[in-house]
Amino acid sequence: MECITLLLKSVSNGQRELDLYRKDIVTEVALPEQIDLLRVAIESGRPLTRYRFLAPSIADTIWMNGRTDLFTRSLAGIKLSKMLETTTNPEVFNLAYDAILDGYSEDEGVWWTKGFSSGADTLASWGLRRLQRAALDDCLPIVRRLIELGYALGPTRSIEDLKDEEPNVVADIINGERTVDIALPIAVKRGNLEMVELLFMAGANRKRKNVRKAMRIAVEQGNLGMLEVLASQGSPAGLLNRKAKQRWKREMEEAGRQNMLKWLEMM
């Protein structure tokens, strides 16, 4: 570790050579065992995730392509973006997140997801997807960290935000933010009470279809503790119409789950 630090200091006046060494460390480091090496590489010079071209400028690239992309970053920057997307280690996540934001601008948007075929994510829409992925990975620390950072589940832009946009732009934004959100039902199926509570903090109750699925799973599992959480935080009133409630009641009685009928009445 000390040798690496001294090596980076020895080439600190030669930006190109320093960047090459930092790139080698970031792309070859074994995580999480060598996380201190990753930290040193990130902190030893200019942001690794900065836009790497003098020309065309960010504005010109956005004008030509509608957005920027992975190719506008160094190999080290791309590697950090992949760490950010996939890691289940909260310390690695925090390092990668801070490094990514060093090279982020709101006008440019999220350069490390999707591609030129679709518009760039905002940080809010990126955070929505990353929150879902962390929940599916059953990674409580990263879910908790994303919520602390202000990310949430659900739509990231209101009708008011989109009122001045052209219809085709609105459609592109809506399609770009559409996700397959199954985090809450999966967390309930796993019996992970803490994850369910965190997802409600992130706004999982707004997707009523998922709350209904979650209630059904908890009823079928006979998980009373989970049902208590879903009933207190998921606002179950009105989840079922009369026809659906009658069908659920019949199925519960046929399965011998008469003791679950009180939860049905809440819906």
Residues whose CB falls within 8 Å of the CB of residue 238, separated by 6 or more in sequence, listed in order: 267
pTM, two decimal places: 0.88
When pLDDT is cut at 50, 70 and 90, the band that residue 82 belongs to is very high
Average pLDDT over residues 102-128: 86
Same domain, 116 and 3: yes
Cβ count near 68 (within 10 Å) = 22
User: In angstroms, what CA-CA distances link 75 with 70, 190, 204, 232?
Assistant: 9, 37, 36, 47
Using DSSP, state whether 192 is helix, strand or coil.
coil
> Helix, strand, coil: what percent of the chain each, to 5?
65, 0, 35
pLDDT in tens, 133-153: 999 999 999 999 999 999 998
Cβ count near 38 (within 10 Å) = 23
User: Cα(58)–Cα(86) distance, rounded to whole angstroms?
Assistant: 26
Q: Name the residue range of residue 226's domain.
A: 159-266
User: Cα(157)–Cα(245) distance, rounded to whole angstroms?
Assistant: 33
pLDDT of residue 247: 95
Q: Tokens 């803490």 appear where?
A: 194
Same domain, 163 and 257: yes
Same domain, 104 and 168: no
Using DSSP, state whether 121 is helix, strand or coil.
strand
Same domain, 106 and 175: no
Same domain, 44 and 105: yes
pLDDT in tens, 202-230: 999 999 999 999 999 999 999 999 999 99
pLDDT in tens, 45-78: 899 999 999 999 999 999 998 889 999 999 999 9
- Evaluate whether residue 209 is within a structural domain: yes
Same domain, 90 and 173: no
- Evaluate whether residue 70 is within a structural domain: yes
pLDDT of residue 18: 84
Same domain, 175 and 103: no
pLDDT of residue 154: 73
Which of 49, 44, 37, 36 is CA-nearest to residue 76? 49
Cβ count near 246 (within 10 Å) = 12
Q: What is the DSSP letter of 11?
A: T
Least confident of 7-16, 79-88, 95-104, 106-115: 7-16
Average pLDDT over residues 102-130: 86
Q: How close are the terminal C-alpha atoms of the chain, in Å?
A: 59
Using DSSP, state whether 141 is helix, strand or coil.
helix
Token couple for 39 = 């930290």
Same domain, 37 and 107: yes
The dihedral sign for the CA sequence 29, 30, 31, 33? negative
Overall number of domains in the chain: 2
Instruction: Report whether pLDDT(266) > 70.
Output: yes
- Evaluate whether residue 43 is within a structural domain: yes
Instruction: Report whether pLDDT(131) > 90.
Output: yes
Least confident of 50-59, 81-90, 163-172, 236-245: 163-172
pLDDT of residue 180: 61
Q: Which of 103, 120, 137 corresponds to the end of one domain? A: 120
* Dihedrals phi, psi of 265, to nearest 5 degrees: -60, -25
Which of 141, 107, 113 is CA-nearest to residue 127? 113
- In the chain, what percentage of residues exceed pLDDT 70? 86
Same domain, 17 and 77: yes
pLDDT of residue 66: 85
pLDDT of residue 8: 72
Q: What DSSP assignment string belongs to 63-114?
A: HHHSS--GGGS-HHHHHHHHHHHH---HHHHHHHHHHHHHT--TTT-B-SSS
- Evaluate whether residue 110 is within a structural domain: yes
Q: What is the mean pLDDT of the chain?
A: 88
Same domain, 254 and 165: yes
pLDDT in tens, 144-178: 999 999 999 876 655 565 555 556 655 665 555 55
